[in-house]
Amino acid sequence: MTQQQTQSVVYCPKMRAIILSALAIAPMLLATAAPARADEEKHSIVWNQVRTPSPGAAQAIGGYAHGCLSGGVALTLDGPGYQVMRPARRRYFGHPVLIDYLKKFGERVYSARLPLVALGDLAQARGGPMNFGHASHQSGLDVDIWLRLDLPLLPRNQRDSLKEVTLVNGATHGVLHPGWTDAHAKLLRLAAADSRVDRIFVNPAIKNELCRKAGPDRGWLRLIRPWYGHDDHFHVRLSCPHDSPLCEPQKPLPEGDGCGAELQSWMAEAHPPRPKKPGTQHSPPDPELPLACYRVIVAAEPTFSTTH
Ligand SMILES: [Zn+2]
């Protein structure tokens, strides 16, 4: 950054304190060329308080549960086929590939005359660890999509207090009737019908229902993976984009539709509809972020007004 650029950027006091605290640890990390294991909560507080994406080219950095997002983009809060819930959380940022995926998904939902889709969390402005709710969603490639299909388009100030609704019967380990409909199955199939999707997490009971009802065209079921929780939303994860060499892919999925032994092993166990504590949905949190993420978090945050 040139001196002229430095002078033209205005910082709010709170942001200045955050950046200074991040800068305080950055030289040590850069000098050792290896990020020190730091307190996860301290990290998440810094990451959730940065309100704007970092400048520069878009990149998903690191893993889904230990990474960050450079050059993120905000998803418009309403579009054909979708609305973003809980906008006050400011978790509606993603890699441009995720934003494009969601816009196209919404258009296909709209064209198929399916009900309006309620989108949950994507990522924070620069990704990174969150202070509650998710272990993953850190690199701008994850999104939660609610299973509630009863919501009209709501004013933005009415979207923060609404709750998700479970569609899984915890006693029978099946989907709830009434509740689960063909529209839910169609929605999941639409969500999977994009080559950028790496996998979609659902509750084992939901995968079981999809397996039972699917006809001969079952290839898409391979992407639908059973996991803890996910009884009131499903979680779409995109593959690493081509522009992101530091993005860490997950292991490839096994062959087949996943309706056999693996699913039965999940069904044989009692899985509570919700994880025991927040943040355990997909994998344990890993506070060891890639070094490149420190450059993302310390990049200056310009402000365009004097009020916050
Ligand atoms: Zn999720």
The secondary structure of residue 281, as a DSSP letter, is S
At 287 the pLDDT is: 59
Which amino acid makes up residue 44?
S
Q: How far is the CA of 15 from the centre of ligand 1 (A)?
A: 28
Q: Hey, where are the domains in the chain?
A: 72-286
**Contact between residue 41 and residue 131 where contact means Cβ atoms under 8 Å apart:** yes
Which amino acid makes up residue 220?
W
Beta strand pairing status for 174-175 and 233-238? unpaired
Q: How far is the CA of 224 from the centre of ligand 1 (A)?
A: 14
Instruction: Give one DSSP letter per residue of 50-76, joined into a string.
Output: --SPPSSS-EEEEETTEEEEES-EEPP
Q: How far is the CA of 94 from the centre of ligand 1 (A)?
A: 13
pTM: 0.82
Which stretches of the chain score pLDDT less than 50? Answer: 1-21, 23-38, 276-286, 305-308
Q: How far is the CA of 189 from the centre of ligand 1 (A)?
A: 18
At 46 the pLDDT is: 86
72-286: CATH class: alpha beta
Task: Please tell me the distance from the alpha carbon of residue 35 to that of residue 233, in angstroms, as a whole number.
Answer: 34
Closest residue by Cα to residue 121 from 106, 104, 100, 135: 135
Closest residue by Cα to residue 69 from 33, 29, 1, 123: 123
